[in-house]
Amino acid sequence: MKQKPMPAWPGLVRWALRRTAGALLVLLVVTVLVFAATEAAPGDAATARLGPQAPAGAVEALRAQLGLDRPAPLRYLDWLGHAVRGDFGASYANGRPVGELIADRFGNSLVLGLAALAVLVPLAVGLGLWAGLRAGRRGDRIVSGTALGLAAVPEFVTGALLMAVFAAGLGWLPAVSLLGAGQGPLDEPSVLVLPVLTLVSVCLAQNLRLVRAGVAEAARSPAVVAARLNGVPELRVAVRYVLPAGLGPAVPVLARSVAYLLGGALVAESLFGFPGLAALLVDATAGRDVPVVQAVALLGAAVAVAANLAGDVAVHLLEPVRGHTR
């Protein structure tokens, strides 16, 4: 079968621009939903700061000081206009710029997410390729069964088990991922191990199974059968024909995993006390620190939209290779 040509660059650029416009529209809708959700939550920052027993006059004065007495549509437009310029206002809790608070934690979450990705991608692709090329055999059943078992265990249970075995039982790793003043995760790499293993266990199963399914399908394609009959080495067949076609179905899910890992994994960070965006979001939510909640939620949405857009582009580029193996 003749190989399909790669998409022309002008067409690809137009397609990418349309997808980018759609992603920006989604992000705009997300801003409305985030703002509406914070508005719908009971109480407000003034009540949270002064307490439920505070005099009504004091609460109203603080609400006016914080601008909470203005109509919601005006506050949304004002917030959106500043957010577009990268200004998320000041924290209601301590008066610090929200951007500084996020910058203090985002680096930690980014290191954790990248470390988890560095483990997840080779495992998912490597094991999925290995199992898919052995579809139906014992090795495939072992890998697929293990992946299914990991998918069935909740994230907090996996984290608790890892903590019990490697921290409390063997004493090899710290049970909590606390950092000293001025320290980053790379200063104490051991604090990353248990959170990374927990995150990988959450994302590995689905990605591995999708790679395995795509590889198993591609391995039965006429192009792959013909390549093997023509004496093409098995390694070249796997890398040149099978793997690109097998990755297609897994790329969108892998993109969502990237968004999950880089956007701040709430359960894993909270379970191990990791000082990332998740801890900042939990504290801000408890204190009704609306600017911080809105900024963190919007950042997570932006990471998710960008990761999914990148996944769509990757699938679009892989499509000619997938078509060639059919």
Nearest to 22 by CA among 250, 312, 280, 227: 312
Q: Is 136 exposed, middle or buried (0-12, 13-18, 19+ CB in 10 A)?
A: exposed
Residue 93 lies in a domain: no
**Phi, psi angle pair for 170, to nearest 5°:** -90, -25
**Angle at which helices 98-132 and 138-152 cross, to 10°:** 150
Return the pLDDT at 305.
Answer: 82
Is residue 60 a part of any domain in this protein?
no
Residue whose token pair is 């709430």: 266
Coil/strand/helix, residue 107:
helix
Cα dihedral sign, 282-283-285-286: positive
What burial class does residue 135 get, using C-beta atoms within 10 Å of its C-beta: 0-12 exposed, 13-18 middle, 19+ buried?
middle
Q: How many residues does the chain have?
A: 326
Rama region for 188: left / alpha / beta (φ>0; ψ in -120 to 50; rest) = beta
pTM for the predicted model, two decimal places: 0.75
Helices (H), the chain: 9-40, 45-50, 56-66, 72-84, 98-132, 138-152, 155-162, 190-219, 222-229, 234-236, 243-247, 251-262, 266-272, 277-286, 290-324
pLDDT tens for the chain, residues 1 to 326: 444 444 456 666 777 788 888 888 888 888 888 888 877 776 666 666 666 666 767 767 777 776 777 777 888 888 888 888 888 887 877 778 888 888 888 888 888 888 888 898 888 888 888 888 887 788 888 888 888 887 788 877 888 888 888 888 888 888 877 776 667 777 778 888 888 888 888 788 888 888 888 888 877 777 777 777 777 787 787 777 777 777 777 777 777 787 777 765 777 888 888 888 887 888 888 777 888 888 888 888 888 888 878 777 777 776 654 444 45
CA distance 257 to 261: 6
> Residue 122 falls within a domain, yes or no?
yes
Residue 320: the pLDDT is 52
Whether residue 73 is contained in a domain is answered as no
97 φ, ψ to 5°?
-60, 135
**What pLDDT is attached to residue 47?**
67
> What CATH number is associated with residue 308?
1.10.3720.10
Q: Is residue 57 part of a domain?
A: no
Burial of 94 (0-12, 13-18, 19+ CB in 10 A): exposed
Kindly list the distances between the CA atom of residue 180 and the CA atoms of 112, 133, 160, 237, 274, in Å, as whole numbers in the listed order.
Answer: 17, 47, 23, 50, 12
Phi–psi pair at 264, nearest 5 degrees: 100, 105
What is the domain range of residue 154?
Answer: 103-318
- Sequence letter at residue 167: A
In a domain, 54, yes or no: no
Q: Which amino acid is at 121?
A: V
Positive/negative CA dihedral, 218, 220, 222, 225: positive
CA distance 246 to 221: 11
Q: Is residue 47 part of a domain?
A: no
Residue 52 lies in a domain: no
Q: Domain count of the chain?
A: 1
